Amino acid sequence: MGYRSEVMKVGDLIKLQSGTRNHWGLPTGIALLVKKLPRNDIHEYNWKVLVDGRYIELGRQIEQSSEVINESR
């Protein structure tokens, strides 16, 4: 799989980059994309993700910096 430039989708399993994992104190950084959360600015949306047993909200920049390890169909 690896990195990709097209838009990720709900259900994709991703590995977050080390900076994101360290910032949030996430031991594994393996995240499930749960929902797109709309925004009212140029960034359009954030992601609600389930990672290491908790839900957090991350910016869509994760689409460029995270590795897809299992793609949703």
Does residue 3 have a pLDDT over 80?
no
- Using 50, 70 and 90 to split pLDDT, how confident is the model at 73? confident
Distance CA 56, CA 73 (A): 23
Q: What is the pLDDT of residue 16?
A: 97
Distance CA 6, CA 4 (A): 6
Q: Tell me: the pLDDT tens digits for 6-65?
A: 579 999 999 999 999 999 999 999 999 999 999 999 888 999 999 999 999 999 999 999
Note the residue count of the chain. 73
Paired with 58 in beta bridges are 47
- Return the percent helix, strand and coil in the chain, to nearest 5: 15, 40, 45
- Using 50, 70 and 90 to split pLDDT, how confident is the model at 5? very low
CA-closest candidate to residue 64, choices 43, 50, 37: 43
